[in-house]
Structure 1
Amino acid sequence: MTDDGRGAGATTAQPGGEGETGDLNATFCAAFVDELVRSGVTDAVVCPGSRSTPMALAIDGDERLRVHVHHDERSAAFLALGLGRATGRPAPVLTTSGTAAVELHPAVVEADLDRVPLLVLTADRPPEKRDVGAAQTIDQTHLYGRSVRWFADPGPPSWEAADSWRSLASRAVLEAGRPHPGPVQVNLPFREPLVGRPGPLPPGRDSGRPWHRMAAPSPASGDQAGATREALAGAERGVIVAGGDIDDPDAVLALADAWGWPVLADPRSGCRTGHRAAIAHADALLRSAAVGDEVDAVVRLGSVPASKVQAQWLARLDVPQVVVDRDGAWFDPDRTAGLLVPAAPGAWARAMLALGSRSTSPGWGQRWRRADDAVEAVLVDALDGDGSLTEPGTARVVAGSLPAGGALVVSSSMPVRDLEWFAGPIPGVAVHANRGANGIDGVVSTAVGVALAGAPTALLIGDIALLHDTNGLLGAARRDIDLCVVVVDNGGGGIFSFLPQASAVAPERFEALFATPHGVDLAALVRAHGIPATTIDRVAELGPAVAGAVAQGGVHVVLVTTDRAANVELHDHLHRLTADAISDLP
């Protein structure tokens, strides 16, 4: 017997005959799931289906796993993605065969592009059922193309291959994790009967450790630090752009402090803490030539920030730019980087600190600090009173209403931009967003997955994104999570009102093709899922509503109604106010 008490040290029985196929399936799945747990998996997401029965029973039968059942495969995959985002561990998502497996594709794409560990288990019909018109049978081989880190199809379970079962599961977890996290597909054909009893499992490692392991990644080397120093030689007015996936924000901020450089801190970076080097309103500052055009070097850490203004500024700068990324990923859409450093940003920052101080233009960091403080003062005056709620004000309030240790999930389109542009410091809160493919599908489910990791969580989302993933609310009220969903309802696709289409297309055509008002009673829709919904009208009411919902626990929805045209006017007004504040600085 092994340390897990499941008989994995015994010789695997190898019954013969077709009548034993059910037991064979059950034994394979039990060994596979046991090795998943040995490899660190703690949660699994199961979608109802027939062909996946052997694996579903094995997952549900292992008391070491938390099992989350979801009716909708697309939402289930994003729930698993949310768990992977929050924990750094892949959560298997299991589906039956056919189009059920296709529904996972959007989450697979997001996991690939934003480097989130995800393990996709697609049950399949056996080979003899393919290409003969058998029901619920499609070609699931390499179904997700180049989006996966690894694909495996071991064929229907066989006793002869029992020695490979554990290795298959352990490698799948390994391939989904470091050093290049992302999705893995294991396609699992099962012959009938699909129900059986597991026999003794093939032996595992006597120590209980997984079949495959990976050594810890190396820290940033002296060579990398030296190459960076050479690339930045002579720079005295540099900036650090901190995007998503910063492993050690404190190290980055310490380096910025030592160098006297500002950190343009994306909300997802963890650097927007209130530290004197952390710049929260980079978008507003870069709309002005007051400071941005004097930069003579840029270091870019992690994934790309959401700000289009910042991207355009980086694209037109004719100065040395260094990209530091944990995987050496090519985050350089405008091809302006002169050096790519494959290192975790925190490790790189510590290596640079070890090289000592550098010469910086006097007062350089303080100029950015004064400008950022001036913008914050304007926003406090314009948005933090007791007036009617606005979309920028909603982003500010939600970000400031979560306790330390909480999590904030923010949807693409306008919510992520409003958070980046208008929120101040967000200390102690982990900010998550599906910015790999920048889609609005699966956002509710992603937030449910993040909340399942245990942190009190808020979701800031627009009405159309909510409708894209209404099925993310299925069963949410019965899950053990603390989640407050704040929905900005502006009656359609608000972001299109900021694009040239809004003025170039006749109003009625614009409404029909782009704004697409939905006419749905969102409060009634939410309540149909057994979730309480509250409508908020005033700025002063929103913060207590969010904080109270998180403290109370469970799932709550807070609705904020805004007007699309007024929202565009407000954004223009705020941009003018902040530009004036910056230009008035000495």
Structure 2
Amino acid sequence: MSVAHRQCAWAQALLSELCRLGVQTAVIAPGSRHTPLVLAAHNLAAAGHLKLYDVLDERVAGFMALGLGRVSGSPTVVLTTSGSAGAHLLPAVIEADRSRVPLIAITADRPARLQGVGAPQTIDQRDLFGVHTRGDEHPTPLEPKEPAHRLAARVMERAQGDEPGPIHVNVPFEKPLWVEGADPLAPTELERASAARPPGPTLEDSTLQELARTLQSAERGLVVVGPGDPGHARGFYGARRDEQADAARRLAKVLRWPLIADGASPARLLGSDPDIVTSLESLVRSGELDEVHPEIILRVGQIATSTTIQGWLATRRSRTIPFDPSGRRQDPAGVCDAPVTADPATALQDLAERVQSRAHDTRWSLAWREAETLGRQALSELAETDEPWSGAVVRAVLERLPEGGLIHVASSLPVRDLDAFSGAPNRRLHVASNRGANGIDGLISTALGEALSWGSPVVCLIGDLAFTHDLGGLAAAREILDERSDASMTLVVLDNGGGAIFDALPIAEHPTAHEPRFVTPKGLEISGLASALGIEHRAVSGTRPEVSGALGEILEAPGLKILHVTLDRREDAARRAEAHDRVRAAVTAAQPWSEVSR
């Protein structure tokens, strides 16, 4: 059997077994050295076993694979050629690591004899992604040390294990990479392994009983749900988030504690439940919570999006008990107990069953409910005016998304605006965001992957700099979504002329460097760009009625659309300050915590 035949047979065996074990999708960046793998994926797609996407830019391919894996819960394979190509996957690999999203990065390599001798497109690709993977595999197709099916099983186990995440497989290939008849046909039948979700780590009954007694003893407590992908990777994203959110809400209700739900958490957009606190940013800024100290804070997920809320939680005279499925510390302030290692949804559900439900509201719960009611009302009144500002845009997007809809919210100001001003929509919605490393790179590409798996219209709320940063993702989204009648994504671009978040930092006082070096306005003509790429688009100001009306015209249509929202960043900042001032005035007048023991 020739070199090409042996390598193609090995690649077909590896990818066929990955598909059998649960891989549903692959993203291919073009090149030559990974030819055996590309042909194997091509044959599996032709046989109906694999969805395949071709993407020019490796960074775009990596983030798109991240979005696909996040929603589906099964690892997406991303294939690249040798040399610097694989290095472009690093930002997506880092986000997959921090967000615990399963991802299989397979990079082709030159054989060992070409390493270190000046061969083109050849670098040392061993451990290319450093500490950011769940492992690195270095198979040799021409001299395999184990069957391909065994390697595939180990790769899947690591990608979907107790801490899901990325894994790197680096494969050296010799020439010839293909000759006629070298690539075997994919199997016509593929008996897929059971996709049953493995149980997450659970707690001993004695530990649960002790925790239940601790929670039961505290009248003044908080359940805090932060950003982050919930629990284990397998299973549809929406179902995983629903499971965790419902468990957190149930435990908070039986304890009569408020549920503090970060804007990017699973627990925020659950409907108009009065005990879900959505206005904490404004409440903390009011000063009325300065001397309000819970006895216990139960925390799930990553730290709060808002630094204001982070600071308030870290300075309470409270015991803070964090839950994490793999025992990862999410505690930069160093105020938490050691993490309780357990699947959060399961643990919270088990605790809710063991805690005796309080028969009546307490002064504590009533004070928080009153404050939240006042906060929601004050923020809603401002959002419903004809003033153009980010809070009004957030409200318009959420009111237009259908039940069960998904919004991908970008880092920097968009995720903070959602957190501060979302309110409580009257139906259940879902949020996705890259809060692992919190970067602005690859956000259109990530949302594209999510939209291809979601099954209903997806909105990506993104700033103008993050939009500009991922123009490769924009081009890929236009090309891919043009061919799909069953997928829809609308980019709502908040164009405030650069990085407005830097206006709130001390560097804003610098006399010369602030604007050109930090705000970095780009002046991109978004409407002209959309026209050049053939993307349907609308341009509006940031008032709630105008944004809502434009979304109503384009949201449900298939394909890619852009809603370009122009905002004056200084006026926008003034509206944010006014929103917080309105909440401050309302709670200062009502004094909801005046009868709560502090």
* Same-fold status (TM-score > 0.5): yes
Tell me if 1:482 matches 2:488: yes
Matched residue SS, 1:558: strand
Residue type at the aligned position of 2:332: P
Deviations 1:518-566 (A, max 9, x none): 1211111222222112101242121232243221121100000111221
- Residues 155-174 of structure 1 aligned to structure 2 (within 5 Å): 155=140, 157-158=141-142, 161=145, 163-174=146-157
Contact 1:325 1:344 in 2 (8 A): yes
SS at match of 2:117: coil
Q: Distance in 2 between matches of 1:201 and 1:164?
A: 19
Pairwise CA RMSD: 2.3
Does structure 2 retain, via aligned residues, the 8 Å contact 1:321–1:339?
no
Indicate the residue corresponding to 1:500 in structure 2. 506
Determine the C-alpha separation between the residues in 1 that align with 2:192 and 2:422. 47
Partner of 1:100: 85
Note if 1:534 corresponds to 2:538.
Answer: yes
Q: What does residue 325 of structure 1 align with? A: 324
Distance 1:289 1:221 in 2: 41
Deviations 1:39-73 (A, max 9, x none): 11111100001111111111121131111111110
The code of the aligned residue for 1:546 comes to L
What's the CA shift for 1:413?
0.3
**Does structure 1 residue 209 correspond to structure 2 residue 199?**
no
Separation of aligned partners in 1, 2:4 and 2:51: 25
Per the alignment, residue 466 of structure 2 pairs with 465
Counterpart of 1:126, as a letter, is P
Deviates more, 1:107-116 or 1:264-273: 264-273
Q: Which residue of 1 aligns with 2:366?
A: 366
Q: CA deviation at 1:214?
A: 8.5
1:584 aligned onto 2:581: no
Contact map agreement 2:202 2:346 (CA 8 A) in 1: yes
**Counterpart check, 1:45 vs 2:50:** no
Change (3 A) 1:117 1:259: same
Which residue is 1:279 aligned to?
277
Cα deviation, 1:332-353, whole Å, max 9, x if unaligned, reads 1111112421112221122112
Of 24-33 and 332-341, more deviation after overlay is shown by: 332-341
Which piece of structure 1 moves more, 125-134 or 175-184?
175-184
Cα distance in 2 between the residues matched to 1:220 and 1:483 = 40
- Counterpart for residue 238 of structure 1: 221
CA contact (8 A) 1:27 1:201 kept: no
Matched, 1:154 2:139: yes
Superposition pairs of residues 364-443 of structure 1, within 5 angstroms = 364-385=364-385, 387-426=386-425, 427-443=427-443
Change in CA separation of 1:144 and 1:206 when aligned onto 2, cut-off 3 Å: closer
Q: CA deviation at 1:394?
A: 1.1
Q: 1:336 to 1:528 in 2, by over 3 A?
A: same
Code of the residue aligned with 2:226 in structure 1: it is G
CA apart distance, 1:199? 6.9
**Which SS does the other structure have where 1:269 is aligned?**
coil
The offset of 1:202, in angstroms, is 12
How many angstroms apart in 2 are the aligned matches of 1:199 and 1:465?
41
Q: How does 1:332-371 map to 2 (within 5 A)?
A: 332-357=331-356, 362-371=362-371
Distance 1:45 1:223 in 2: 46
Relative distance call for 1:471 and 1:200 in structure 2 (3 A) is closer
How far residue 305 of structure 1 moved from its aligned partner, in angstroms, is: 2.3
Residues 326, 160 of structure 1: CA spacing in aligned structure 2 closer, same or farther, 3 A cutoff?
Answer: closer
Label 1:279 to 1:36 Cα distance change in 2 as closer, same or farther (>3 A): same
2:236 is matched with: none
Residues 395 and 544 in structure 2, CA contact (< 8 A), matched pair in contact too: no
Post-superposition shift, 1:139? 0.8
User: Structure 1 pair 215/486, CA: closer, same or farther in 2 (3 Å)?
Assistant: closer
Q: Is the 8 A contact 2:498 2:521 kept in 1?
A: yes
Match of 2:66 in 1: 81
Distance in 2 (alpha carbons) for counterparts of 1:389 and 1:35? 53
For the 8 Å contact 2:410–2:466, the answer to whether it is kept is yes
Which residue is equivalent to 1:4?
Answer: none
Whole-angstrom distance in 1 between the partners of 2:519 and 2:338: 42
SS in 2 for 1:323: strand
- 2:467 maps to amino acid: L
Equivalent-residue separation in structure 2 for 1:266 and 1:566 (angstroms): 25
- In structure 2, C-alpha distance between the alignment counterparts of 1:206 and 1:392, rounded to whole Å: 50
1:145 aligns to 2:130 (yes or no): yes
Instruction: For 1:256-275, list aligned pairs within 5 A.
Output: 256-272=252-268, 273=270, 274-275=272-273
Report the CA distance between 1:268 and its aligned residue. 2.9
Residue 170 of structure 1, CA deviation = 2.4
Does the 8 Å contact 1:228/1:322 carry over to 2? no
In structure 2, what is the equivalent of residue 12 of structure 1?
Answer: none
1:217 shift after superposition = 2.6
Shift of residue 118 of structure 1? 1.0
SS at match of 1:528: helix
User: What TM-score does the superposition give when structure 1 sets the normalisation length?
Assistant: 0.91
Aligned in 2, Cα 1:199/1:74: closer, same or farther, shift over 3 Å? closer
Tell me which residue corresponds to 1:451: 451
Structure 1 residues 169 and 527, CA, compared in 2 at 3 Å: closer, same or farther? farther
**Counterpart of 2:594?**
none
Mapped partners of 1:333, 1:308: distance in 2 = 12
CA drift of 1:286 comes to 2.1
SS at match of 2:400: coil
User: In 2 relative to 1, CA 175–548 (structure 1 residues): closer, same or farther, beyond 3 Å?
Assistant: farther
Q: 2:207 — aligned with what?
A: 224
- Cα distance in 1, alignment partners of residues 446 and 162 from structure 2: 23
What is the one-letter code of the residue matched to 2:345? Answer: G
User: Does the CA-based 8 Å contact 2:212-2:355 persist in structure 1?
Assistant: no
- Work out the CA distance in 1 between the residues paired with 2:26 and 2:183: 23
Alignment length (residue pairs) = 562
Deviation at 1:215, TM superposition (A): 4.5
% identical aligned pairs: 35
Aligned position for 1:119: 104
Consecutive unaligned residues in structure 1, runs of 5 or more: 1-14
**1:250 is matched with which residue?**
246
- Tell me the SS of whatever aligns to 1:294: coil
SS of alignment partner, residue 536 of structure 1: strand
Give the match for residue 237 of structure 2.
none
Deviation at 1:34, TM superposition (A): 0.6
Q: Distance in 2 between matches of 1:562 and 1:429?
A: 26
